[in-house]
Amino acid sequence: MELQEQILVFFENIRTDFLTVFFTTITMMAEHLFLVLLLAILYWIVDKRKSRRLAWFMLFNGVFNGVMKSIVNMPRPFDKGVVKPIRMETATGSSFPSGHTQTATSFWMGSMFILKTKSTIVLGSIMIILTALSRLYLGVHWPMDVVAAIVFGVIFTYFAHLLIDEEGKFTEFHVIVSSMLCLAVLIFNVEIDLSKAVAALWGLCLGS
């Protein structure tokens, strides 16, 4: 048995009702519905400028994640019968890299760039690791998926940080690039998750 399979079997063997509820909750905090609601609350109640930047970090990563999934097209662990998955309905698209883990990485690293506090760094680091572990515990990703997602999340959140100012203002550059991505989505047959990410990014750049 390969090392990756051994790791997944280990997590399957330690499953308990408490851990299942705990890791399910953690993984739900990196899902689109929760984060869209959170960003909406932050935008209307807390700070519009910071919320725009945070949305930019997440959608920038979302587009790249979707592109990588389409290119690599790796089957998930349960596709090969390695482990029995939990909440399989949330595991859409191919396996590499983990969308939940990269989303969590972009959200929390983006928060670190915006807030610049030690508490955010500590909390964010813990949440990123827990999200990665949750995807392994639930049996929906290979270990390499979550490790790569963290690495990609850090790299592309940093790039996204360089491409937008502190005020969270979008320029003609952002609109043109996101419009070109939308055109590419219309021309090429891509996964639905990538289409959604590109459309959301275009809407953010155009509407802000």
Give residue 194's pLDDT: 74
Q: pTM of the full predicted structure?
A: 0.88
E-strand stretches of 29-93: none
Q: Tens digit of pLDDT for each residue in 154-208?
A: 999 998 888 887 777 777 778 787 788 777 776 776 677 777 777 777 777 776 6
Looking at every residue in the chain, the average pLDDT score rounds to: 88
Cα–Cα distance, 174 to 18 (Å, whole number): 44
In the chain, where are the structural domains located?
3-165
Q: Tens digit of pLDDT for each residue in 4-41?
A: 999 999 999 999 999 999 999 999 999 988 988 888 89
Q: Tens digit of pLDDT for each residue in 100-116?
A: 999 999 999 999 999 98
